[in-house]
Every structure is written in structure tokens, then in C-alpha cells.
Amino acid sequence: MARNIEIKARIDDPAACTARAAALADQGPIEIDQDDTFFRCIGGRLKLRAFSDGTGELIYYRRANNRGPKESFYLRSPTSAPDVLRESLALANGLAGRVKKHRKLFLVGRTRIHIDDVEHLGHFLELEVVLTDDEPLEVGVSEAHGLIKRLGILPHQLVEEAYVDLLALTGLSEAAVAAVASMASGSPGLVTASEPPERSGPGP
């Protein structure tokens, strides 16, 4: 599976953070609207990401919930029919949450900088340092630490949880699940998750 190093932080001044990211970036900003539906999954997380152009991608990933840089293993599969796939997976697995956000993407070499405006949660910054197959974890961690400092992020701003977990803590995840379930109202036997999604464990 592909690997990257991820780090997330809450930001109070998205305009200033966006300006710093733009000063560092080789490309961007690229504006993206994302609608992520999470499904019950053993041994990791499974989400369907739908885009505003009607396409999407199914993403399976495993990562620990830690503050600071963390290793993530992931598989991505594009789809041209996200709505049908969402309904199929909801029937097969059950729903675990939904996250909607507007993302500004910047590229700094091999690193993706995300400035996210997450519905019901506010503004965040994410880094994803893409690793090669045999590259030591420590190289990506060092790169992430260096960029996070250049972006002006302080230790107390770092966030441990995934967006879907933060929504679950607010109680809004259940409402999001209900909204997705209503989209499949014509399908009998739909199972939804009433409890917060399970946290993924550490890497393999």
C-alpha cells in the first residue's frame, strides 16, 4: 500500500495560513469540495469521497490517532458512480459518519498542504508527505516537522483525531449518518451506526 506522513492542526486565521502556504508552494491553490461518507470497517477506515463534478474515489486507510506526524497506509480506487457505490456500501457495511469540507490544496514538492473549512468544525491545516516504498519513516516525519514550523503552527494547535471523530464528539456525526441514510430511503434493511466510529489502530 501507498504511505504518507500526516499531520493536522486547528487554525484560527485561515487567511494568514493560506498566505504562508502560497509562499512555500510550487502549485496552488486548487479549490476542491469534498463530501466524505464513512462506512463501518474492521481494521482501518473506509470512506467514499465524492467530488462536485460527479466523480469520486473509494479510500481505505490505516493510521493511528496521535498528535503530530503519523504514518498512514492507504489504497485509492476512482469511481464514476459515487452515489450508487455509497448506497451499496451503506447496505453492505453500515454507515459510520459523514464529513463535508472545502479544501484549498497547495503542493510543496511531494507534500500536499490542505487548508480545510470543515462543516460544523471550522478551519484546519493538514500536511501529507508522500513516502516512497522503502523510504524510512523518519525522513517524512522530519520533513513534516520542518514545514509545520515554517507555516507558523504551534504544538498546542495539533489535533489528534480525524474529522469524523471530532464530529462524533460533538454529536453531529449521527445527524450526518441519518442524512446519508435518507438518500437511500428506497432501500430496505439499511443499517446505520448510532455510536461514534471506531478509531483505527496503529500501523501493521
- CATH of residue 128's domain is 2.40.320.10
* Structural domain containing residue 40: 2-183
* Dihedral sign for Cα atoms in the order 155, 156, 158, 160: positive
Assigned domain for 30 exists: yes
Confidence of residue 143 (pLDDT cuts 50, 70, 90): very high
Assigned domain for 96 exists: yes
Assigned domain for 177 exists: yes
Mean pLDDT over the full length of the chain: 87
Assigned domain for 201 exists: no
Assigned domain for 191 exists: no
Confidence of residue 64 (pLDDT cuts 50, 70, 90): confident
Into how many domains does the chain fold? 1
Assigned domain for 50 exists: yes
Assigned domain for 28 exists: yes
Assigned domain for 87 exists: yes
- Give yes or no for a contact between 72 and 5, defined as CB atoms under 8 angstroms apart: yes
C-alpha to C-alpha distances, 19 to 13, 74, 161, 167, nearest whole angstrom: 10, 30, 25, 27
- Give yes or no for a contact between 4 and 113, defined as CB atoms under 8 angstroms apart: no
Confidence of residue 180 (pLDDT cuts 50, 70, 90): low
Confidence of residue 142 (pLDDT cuts 50, 70, 90): very high
- Give yes or no for a contact between 25 and 59, defined as CB atoms under 8 angstroms apart: no
Q: Quick one: pLDDT at residue 193?
A: 37
Question: 12 or 177: whose pLDDT is higher?
Answer: 12
Q: What is the mean pLDDT of residues 74-96?
A: 96
